[in-house]
Amino acid sequence: MSAGRIKDIANIQKLGHVEFRTTDLERARDFYVNLIGLHETARDDNRVYLRCTEDKQHHTFVLRKAESAGVGHIGFVVSEEGDLDRMKARFEELGLPSRWVGNDMLGQGRTLRVQDPFGFIVDYYAEIQSVPWLVQQYHLHKGASPTRIDHINVLTPDAQAGYDWYTQEMGFGCAELTEGDAPEKRVWASWLFRKSTVHDIAVMTGAGPAAHHVGFSLGDPLSIIKACDLLAGAGYAGSLERGPARHGISNALFVYVRDPDGNRFELYTGDYLTGNTAAEPIRWNLNNPVRQTLWGAPPPRRWFEESMSVEEFDGHGMKKTNPPLMQSVPSYVLD
C-alpha cells in the first residue's frame, strides 16, 4: 500500500540548518562568529554549531572540519515525530536511500537522513534543543548580526523536475519562477517555500548536484552596508563577490560573500511575505535580465561559473562527491 506523498503525510515547517565543510575549523569559526556575527551554541571535536539572533533552536548553521570545502547536508524541520516514520516509509517506497542518523548532531533529536532524487543529502527532524532568544540581548550582537538563516540555492540539471518534486511531492509553495518561451514553458529555476517568505530552497538549472549559496537574512538595508564595511576593514574586500545590489526576483537587497574556504553565502534583506503555498507564482521569462538584477553592477563571471560541491549518501555514511569544489553553472539560470 502506498505511503502517500510527503505533503499528505508530513508537515515540513522550514529550512532547519545547513552544514558547511571547512578545512580550518578555528579560522571558519572566527570568521562567522566575530565578523559575520553568528552565535556559537556548542562545539565538539569536528563541528561548531551556530545560530542567528532570532533563532530559538540549538543551531541553524554548522561548520564541520573536512578535507575540502563545500556543503555537507541540508536540514529541514518537521512538525512532529510521527512525520519522520511516515516520511521514511515514503522514501523507501520511492527507492531513495535513507537511514536514521542517531546522535550525529548535537542538540538535535531523532533525525532521518535521505538522499533526494537529485543527489542532495537532506536531514529531517522534529525535535531540537531550545536555546535563549537573543533578539533583545543587544550587548551580544556583533558583526553583521544575521537574524535568521533564510534559504539555500541548489543546482541540478533538471530544474523542472526539482520544481515538480518540491511542489507536488513535498508540499512547498512557489513564490517565483523562471521559465522559457512557449510552447515548451520549461521551468529553469524556482523559489520554493514552507515558511512565509520567498524561499527556503531555490532550485536552479546547472551542473549538479551542487550548491550555489546559503542566504542569511539581515535586519535592514543599512546592515548590508555595515557588513561590507566590516569585511573590507578586516581584509576581506576581495571576498565581496557581488553587490550590494537588488534582485528582481525576491526584491531583496543583497551582497554575496566568499568565506575563507571559498564557500559562498548571501547577506540578504527586504524580501516579502508569502504564506499561501497554493498561490500562483510570479513568472519571469528566462531572457528578462531584471530577474537577476533590478539595479546594481552585473555579476562577475565566477558568480555564474562556480558552485559548491556537495556530499553523497552511500547508505551507511557520507563521502565526498567526485566533482571539484567549484563547478560550471550556466549564466542564464541563476537569480
User: 214 and 92, same structural domain?
Assistant: no
**Residue scoring higher pLDDT (257 or 323):** 257
Query: Of 87, 110, 138, which marks where a domain is finished?
Result: 138
Task: State how far the Cα of 200 lies from the Cα of 51, in Å rounded to an integer.
Answer: 16
User: 259 and 236, same structural domain?
Assistant: yes
Task: State how far the Cα of 132 lies from the Cα of 210, in Å rounded to an integer.
Answer: 34
Query: Of 83, 104, 138, which marks where a domain is finished?
Result: 138
CB 335 within 8 A of CB 292: yes
Q: In this predicted structure, which of 65-74, 101-110, 274-283, 294-303 has the lowest mean pLDDT?
A: 101-110
As beta bridge partners, residue 266 has: 215, 256
Range(s) of the domain holding residue 35? 6-138
**What pLDDT is recorded for position 31?**
98
CB 53 within 8 A of CB 2: no
**What pLDDT is recorded for position 324?**
41
User: 165 and 104, same structural domain?
Assistant: no
What CATH code is carried by the domain that includes residue 48? 3.10.180.10
User: 128 and 63, same structural domain?
Assistant: yes
User: 131 and 186, same structural domain?
Assistant: no
pLDDT in tens, 132-188: 999 999 999 999 999 999 999 999 999 999 999 999 999 999 999 999 887 778 999
pLDDT in tens, 211-235: 999 999 999 999 999 999 999 999 9
Is this prediction's pTM over 0.85? yes
Query: Of 138, 166, 188, which marks where a domain is finished?
Result: 138
